[in-house]
Amino acid sequence: MQAPKNLDAIFYPQSVAVVGTNKTKGTVPHDIFYNILDSNFQGIVYPVSPGEKSVAGVKAYKYIVDIEDPVDLAVLVFPSSVCHLALEQCGKKGVKSAIIISAGFKEIGGKGVEREKQIKSIADQYGISFIGPNCLGVINTDPKMRLNASFARKMPEEGNIGFLSQSGALCTAVLDYAQAKHIGFSKFISFGNKADINEIDLLYYLKDDPRTKVILVYLEEISDGFALMKAAQVVISESGKPVLILKSGRTEEGAAAAASHTGSLAGSDVICDAALRQAGIIRCSDIEEMFNRAIALAYQPLPQSNRVAIVTNAGGPGVLATDAAINQGLKLARFSEATSDILRKSLPKTANTKNPIDVIGDAHSDRYNVALSSTLKDENVDGVFVILTPQSMTDIDEIAREICNCSIQFKKPIYTSFMGEADVASGIDILQRNRIPHYILPESMCCSFSAALNFKNRSTKSDSSEYSPLDHINPQKAKEIFEKALQSGKRFLSGRDAYDILQAYGFPVGRYGQASSKEDAVALADQIGYPVVMKIVSEEIVHKYDVNGVLLNLCSAQEVAEGYSSMMKVISERKPHAKIEGVLIQEMSESGVEVILGVKRDPSFNAVLLFGLGGIFVEIFEDVSFRIAPLSPPDIQTMITDIKGYPLLSGARGRKIMDIASIEDCLRRLSQLAVDCPQIKELDINPLIVRNEGLGALAADIKIVI
Amino acid sequence: MQAPKNLDAIFYPQSVAVVGTNKTKGTVPHDIFYNILDSNFQGIVYPVSPGEKSVAGVKAYKYIVDIEDPVDLAVLVFPSSVCHLALEQCGKKGVKSAIIISAGFKEIGGKGVEREKQIKSIADQYGISFIGPNCLGVINTDPKMRLNASFARKMPEEGNIGFLSQSGALCTAVLDYAQAKHIGFSKFISFGNKADINEIDLLYYLKDDPRTKVILVYLEEISDGFALMKAAQVVISESGKPVLILKSGRTEEGAAAAASHTGSLAGSDVICDAALRQAGIIRCSDIEEMFNRAIALAYQPLPQSNRVAIVTNAGGPGVLATDAAINQGLKLARFSEATSDILRKSLPKTANTKNPIDVIGDAHSDRYNVALSSTLKDENVDGVFVILTPQSMTDIDEIAREICNCSIQFKKPIYTSFMGEADVASGIDILQRNRIPHYILPESMCCSFSAALNFKNRSTKSDSSEYSPLDHINPQKAKEIFEKALQSGKRFLSGRDAYDILQAYGFPVGRYGQASSKEDAVALADQIGYPVVMKIVSEEIVHKYDVNGVLLNLCSAQEVAEGYSSMMKVISERKPHAKIEGVLIQEMSESGVEVILGVKRDPSFNAVLLFGLGGIFVEIFEDVSFRIAPLSPPDIQTMITDIKGYPLLSGARGRKIMDIASIEDCLRRLSQLAVDCPQIKELDINPLIVRNEGLGALAADIKIVI
């Protein structure tokens, strides 16, 4: 898939007009023009200002239409109240791309919402693609272009990280943070209210941008989560570029604060978390974590596996790093005989030549060189962590340069942690300028390595594994039942209708039927075979157990008849006005492990599927997993193995192995049902009773909210 | 309790001799002498060097005994091979305190271990208290003393944080880190191999040090965990000073690395974690987290409760901070009418005057002042988080100064996060010099506030709540049973002996007895009353179920007789050589919730107690809590409520409330049993069957390893 909008003109314009600029330094309208001019821009920039003859020494135009030559990109800095007029002029001039910096649109509500609609409609009319409004602007560090169409204080270094942000203010903090650490960017984009071009368009664009290796996104709300997942999956599978997302509004209060800020609603965070993971996106919890991981992914090769060597000049930090590595699922590499020999021969006797290698406090760069080059050569080592503490004899800068040399020589990841601050500052500077990932803490170093490894493992998995459509299902029948139910005003299905829908999709529902009299019930039970279960069917009775509306293990016609009478008696007393549709008679399941399967319709991600163990495991331990439909085979497998209680299904500790294949089959059917039938708002199969391996499962109770 | 050793002479010596110094700059022996001389030391320092006439311009003595005046403190920097000779001389001179910097002792194993024993014995002989060996030294920033008896590159700033470290190398990194952030220390102590003075002595010393407000400890192993807990509890309750511990060796591999480093063993980390928490110690997972929390505790008043105001000039970071605050259990304060009025009147219309307060990107310090002072005055606010992003109009330094002013004026905690790096550097410097906690990330700001609040809540709890000793127990009987069992070579008790011990300590064990023939068994069952349980008793049969060694619910004499015969038959086939002691007959418990109570003897913490729900909750969900005996009433309560499955006991979601009081009683008894009887290596009461509230519990099975 390609970026659908005219984004090249935004990042690579031959000519730019800054519409609404002026001569007042320190104001956004002036600074943006000046920033473009000052950033060694390789095209032509025109100031458009009704009130000025020139801006920053460049001849100004009253209107954009006055410019003689074609304009590829317009940057609008007029107040929001007149933006629509300026955009209209851009349209007339034939400009096809714009960045609307101006604030005062959707984010202020009321009139602003109207204004945003108005500019969007003008843009559509003239075929203009635009970024914004309410944004910081766009930066392209490509030396062929060098465009700083933003009011950021300065242009960042060139690099291979693409950064997208919904918040402009955060961009200024990020640029400042990055500058100090020599983190470079390929493209840096504040997309604001995303009235036209959104993060999804930009993801597709950066997928094809040869200067971008890693993509970072800061989001305050996810409007089309499903499209975002799809875009990320395409980016990752087609280009191999990792996508890192920092999504705020994780808590309800955070979402409320976001809503007052951008005028948009955030979805439930636990769903968002599952969805991003499912799409292969690396979700980060703060800016530092995001950049810690980004530099690992952008600067160094991906690790092939989890065996690391630790090289340190101090024992304590070596222990801390070991702890952190193990906690992150890494292993301390066991060195080959050759490596051990070199280490023993070349390092002093007091050194520890086992992993973690302690080159001892008085080590100079030569010892670091020995430890680094021998471990990097060792095929039992997938990456090296270098730790340094500033002892009085430590030649910090020389060691930093040694690390840079080794990094060029060997194609394995090297990460570093020079502990301290003032004394190690120049050494860290050398590392950062040479794109060696540096971390203040061994813990974040290990965490970042682990993130890179997870990404590598993810990206080498077959991404194309998908299910073929299900055979022998009857979507038409399900559709008819939903339509009929909706027409008759029903909002809740639990009787025969619900079972018929599941049966149409091939779920194991056993023998069942619905009866509307005692005689019918007995006849039906005879036909199904004993024992049976009898349940009341009434839209007005949601909690069947409260009215004795469920009778289990009825073993004879007599028990069915008596049960029917007593059930109706209790209901007529407790729910005298409930409209009774009848009773559902179904075969009684053999015992097994109870699990729950569910669907929840989400405004952003569409069909969210849930799996967990039933009863107290859902209620008290909240031991459930979520995925977004449609599910791929690995989605289904991990959805089942992700829950903590999985050993109860897999036969741990002498237990019987349960029929996991039938759970997988049900989840596959549920995924298709949820995708096919948008009428489903919520659905619970609770419990699905899973029997021993090979014996299948039975959907013992079903509720559908439509 | 007081520090037992002569520590004042180490921190406040009137005269110091550096024994083994020389003239070679850049070596430890020289640098230590020079550091003392150069740090504006308020006492007298003597160089002692057999080979030099003077060091750094000061007349040198050949031997310490040559010094005419008394010497309070000797700092030994000789090679380890001759340290004992020098220490002997110190003893003869009458020196009572020493710091042994030299390495080459226990940490290198073999000969080093011997050397360490030798110096300890000389020190004991002459009554010398010493720090080390194998350490960086000691720093006291008190202006009355100014002692830098270490080979750290420079003396840290004066401050109120006391720092203790087992690792010398980590100290150099910490000093460098602290210098850049203007973090000051009261005392800074690298205690190395702690052959004499250990972290516990130093904790007691810092408790009484008026210049220390917060105590940080870095440990690689905990040798006497129980004493450490006790010391921390005394420090916290008597002085109100928080104790923060960074303990490495959390993982098995980390512990192995630590062992090769310090020659000592680390205990199981999960026990360590529970123990430190129980003692009120704040355990930190890395250096940054430790200092993040330390500056919060050292610089600002403790928060009274969890209602915070957030003041920001950028929406995005405000959302991130809100998320982080909620995740940390904090609440966004709801402002009073008065506060809201002031904010609405004084801030621009576009500002968000609700919490989080957004003073908008173009805010100068005046707006920050309004937001800060009005919220700090508001009695609905317990603390304020100030966030700043460097926008083009932001007067960063002025805002920093404004925050400092407010901090002096109001007695509520203010924490800050100036996001970015280069642009905000001078503003951060102002904050740090004025002891305003600053955090790179809003997340660590919230985390630190939460740690301070937890400490406040902890320290206002009644710390003295302790149980009175149990009445009506019979420790003598338990002791006799253990002695008899040990004499007869038993290592495992599960029959009558185990039940007798529990009965002696008043546990609910029901009616029981042991029988050695079929007839006895029937007679006993008749006496106990039906139904009964019959279990085989044999030290050689640990897994009773595997040999049909447990029969439940025997309802008559006939069933008991038949059961006895069949059990013996199966055992004679499957375990023909097992020595059978008999069968245990006990009353059958009514049904209830099964829980497990356990004891494990730990080399460092002595008696570790375990509580959890039985069966799969222990096996698969590992839903258990640990505490160290003896338990206080709050220990017992939190031990029960800490488990995730607690709602299964407390009657959540329409369940019956179980008899929690009887669990509490059993835990109290278990605590005393574990303390009284060191013979217990491991003990399991599994299950203890807990009935509905008011109906008590029954210990249904017991195993004791001695």
Give pLDDT tens digits for B29-64. Answer: 999 999 999 999 999 999 999 999 999 999 999 999
* Nearest by Cα to A419 from B165, B203, B400, B445: B165
Residues of B in contact with A252 (CB under 8 A): 326
| One-letter amino acid for residue A49 of the chain | S
**Bridge partners, A244 (sequence order):** A216, A282
Query: Does residue B91 carry a pLDDT above 80?
Result: yes
Residue A261 and residue B352: Cβ atoms within 8 Å? yes
Residues of A in contact with B177 (CB under 8 A): 419-421
Which pLDDT value is given to residue B326? 92
Query: Which among B177, B318, B352 has the least Cβ separation from residue A421?
Result: B177
* Nearest by Cα to B132 from B147, B116, B108, B145: B116
Query: Which among B169, B352, B645 has the least Cβ separation from residue A316?
Result: B169
Rounded distance, CA B262 to CA B199, Å? 15
Query: Which among B26, B314, B443 has the least Cβ separation from residue A285?
Result: B443
| Minimum mean pLDDT range among A47-56, A459-468, B472-481, B686-695 | A459-468
| Minimum mean pLDDT range among A222-236, B265-279, B355-369 | B265-279
Residue B172 and residue A390: Cβ atoms within 8 Å? yes
Residues of A in contact with B249 (CB under 8 A): 319, 323
Measured in angstroms, the CA of A27 and the nearest CA of chain B are apart by 9
Measured in angstroms, the CA of B622 and the nearest CA of chain A are apart by 10
Rounded distance, CA B622 to CA B625, Å? 9
User: For A266-271, what is the mean pLDDT?
Assistant: 68
Query: Does residue A131 carry a pLDDT above 70?
Result: yes
What letter would DSSP give residue B157?
A: P
Cis peptide before B630 (omega within 30 of 0): yes
Measured in angstroms, the CA of A305 and the nearest CA of chain B are apart by 18
Residue B440 and residue A31: Cβ atoms within 8 Å? no
Query: Which among A252, A260, A318 has the least Cβ separation from residue B257?
Result: A318
Name which of A32, A323, A445, A648 to mutate to probe chain B: the one with the most chain B Cβ atoms within 10 A of its Cβ. A323
| Minimum mean pLDDT range among B123-137, B252-266, B286-300 | B252-266
Query: Which among B285, B352, B390 has the least Cβ separation from residue A173?
Result: B390
Measured in angstroms, the CA of A320 and the nearest CA of chain B are apart by 6
In terms of CA atoms, which chain A residue is nearest residue B312?
A169
Identify the band that residue A464 occupies on the pLDDT scale cut at 50, 70 and 90. low
Residue A391 and residue B648: Cβ atoms within 8 Å? no
Query: Which among B419, B443, B620 has the least Cβ separation from residue A648?
Result: B620
| One-letter amino acid for residue B242 of the chain | P
Which pLDDT value is given to residue A1? 43
Name which of B323, B350, B423, B447 to mutate to probe chain A: the one with the most chain A Cβ atoms within 10 A of its Cβ. B323
Percent of chain A whose predicted confidence (pLDDT) is above 90: 75
Which pLDDT value is given to residue A250? 65
Query: Does residue A3 carry a pLDDT above 50?
Result: no
In terms of CA atoms, which chain B residue is nearest residue A646?
B620
Angle at which helices B496-504 and B475-487 cross, to 10°: 150
- Tell me if residue B130 falls in helix, strand or coil: strand
Residue A352 and residue B169: Cβ atoms within 8 Å? no
Query: Does residue A377 carry a pLDDT above 90?
Result: yes
Which pLDDT value is given to residue A435? 95
User: For B377-381, what is the mean pLDDT?
Assistant: 97
Rounded distance, CA B80 to CA B192, Å? 14
Query: Does residue A461 carry a pLDDT above 60?
Result: no
Query: Does residue A265 carry a pLDDT above 50?
Result: no
Residue B316 and residue A175: Cβ atoms within 8 Å? no
Rounded distance, CA B426 to CA B388, Å? 13
| Minimum mean pLDDT range among A22-36, A419-433, A487-501, B243-257 | B243-257
Measured in angstroms, the CA of B154 and the nearest CA of chain A are apart by 10
Residue B288 and residue A322: Cβ atoms within 8 Å? no
Residues of A in contact with B419 (CB under 8 A): 170, 173, 176-177, 287
Residue A443 and residue B286: Cβ atoms within 8 Å? yes
Q: Find all residues with CB under 8 Å of A136, minimum gap 6, and list them.
A: A101, A150, A151, A152, A165, A168, A171, A172, A190, A192
For the record, the structure tokens of B632 come out as: 């206080």
User: For A407-432, what is the mean pLDDT?
Assistant: 94
- Residue A307 to residues A304, A333, B159, B193, B595: CA-CA distances in angstroms? 9, 5, 42, 31, 41
Which pLDDT value is given to residue B655? 83
Which pLDDT value is given to residue A85? 96
In terms of CA atoms, which chain A residue is nearest residue B269?
A323
Residues of B in contact with A177 (CB under 8 A): 419-421
| One-letter amino acid for residue B372 of the chain | L
| One-letter amino acid for residue B406 of the chain | C
Identify the band that residue A252 occupies on the pLDDT scale cut at 50, 70 and 90. low
Residues of B in contact with A594 (CB under 8 A): none
Query: Does residue A660 carry a pLDDT above 60?
Result: yes
Query: Does residue B462 carry a pLDDT above 60?
Result: no
Query: Does residue B678 carry a pLDDT above 50?
Result: yes
In terms of CA atoms, which chain B residue is nearest residue A181?
B421
Name which of B260, B265, B319 to mutate to probe chain A: the one with the most chain A Cβ atoms within 10 A of its Cβ. B319
Measured in angstroms, the CA of B285 and the nearest CA of chain A are apart by 9
Which pLDDT value is given to residue A262? 36
Task: Supply the mean pLDDT for chain B.
Answer: 91
Q: Could you read off the pLDDT of A323-338 as tens digits, one per residue?
A: 999 999 999 999 999 9
For the record, the structure tokens of B216 come out as: 């940080």
How many beta-carbon pairs under 8 angstroms link A with B? 254
Residues of B in contact with A287 (CB under 8 A): 320, 419, 441
Query: Does residue B267 carry a pLDDT above 50?
Result: no
Query: Does residue B260 carry a pLDDT above 70?
Result: no
Measured in angstroms, the CA of A360 and the nearest CA of chain B are apart by 9
Residue B644 and residue A620: Cβ atoms within 8 Å? yes
Rounded distance, CA A415 to CA B458, Å? 40
Name which of A220, A319, A349 to mutate to probe chain B: the one with the most chain B Cβ atoms within 10 A of its Cβ. A319
User: For B209-218, what is the mean pLDDT?
Assistant: 97
- List strand residue ranges (DSSP E) for A538-605, in order: 550-554, 582-587, 593-602
Query: Which among B320, B350, B389 has the least Cβ separation from residue A172?
Result: B389
- Residue A545 to residues A498, A592, A686, A705: CA-CA distances in angstroms? 18, 21, 14, 19
User: For B446-467, what is the mean pLDDT?
Assistant: 80
Residues of B in contact with A286 (CB under 8 A): 320, 324, 441-443
Which pLDDT value is given to residue A5? 67
Which pLDDT value is given to residue A255? 62
Residues of B in contact with A249 (CB under 8 A): 319, 323
Identify the band that residue A422 occupies on the pLDDT scale cut at 50, 70 and 90. confident
User: For A577-605, what is the mean pLDDT?
Assistant: 90
Residue A316 and residue B165: Cβ atoms within 8 Å? yes
Which pLDDT value is given to residue B585? 95
Burial class (CB in 10 A: 0-12, 13-18, 19+), A53: exposed
Residues of B in contact with A425 (CB under 8 A): 180
- Tell me if residue A150 falls in helix, strand or coil: strand
Query: Does residue A619 carry a pLDDT above 60?
Result: yes
Query: Which among B26, B320, B322 has the least Cβ separation from residue A393?
Result: B26
Query: Does residue A423 carry a pLDDT above 50?
Result: yes
In terms of CA atoms, which chain A residue is nearest residue B326?
A251
Rounded distance, CA A494 to CA A684, Å? 10
Residue B175 and residue A420: Cβ atoms within 8 Å? yes
Query: Does residue A26 carry a pLDDT above 90?
Result: no
Percent of chain A whose predicted confidence (pLDDT) is above 70: 96
Residue A248 and residue B423: Cβ atoms within 8 Å? no
Query: Does residue B270 carry a pLDDT above 90?
Result: no
Which pLDDT value is given to residue B5? 67
Residues of B in contact with A254 (CB under 8 A): 319-320, 322-323, 326
User: For A48-52, what is the mean pLDDT?
Assistant: 93
Which pLDDT value is given to residue B143? 96
Residues of A in contact with B392 (CB under 8 A): 26, 28, 31, 151, 153
Q: pTM of the entire structure? A: 0.84
For the record, the structure tokens of A506 come out as: 């091939």
Q: Find all residues with CB under 8 Å of B27, minimum gap 6, and list them.
A: none
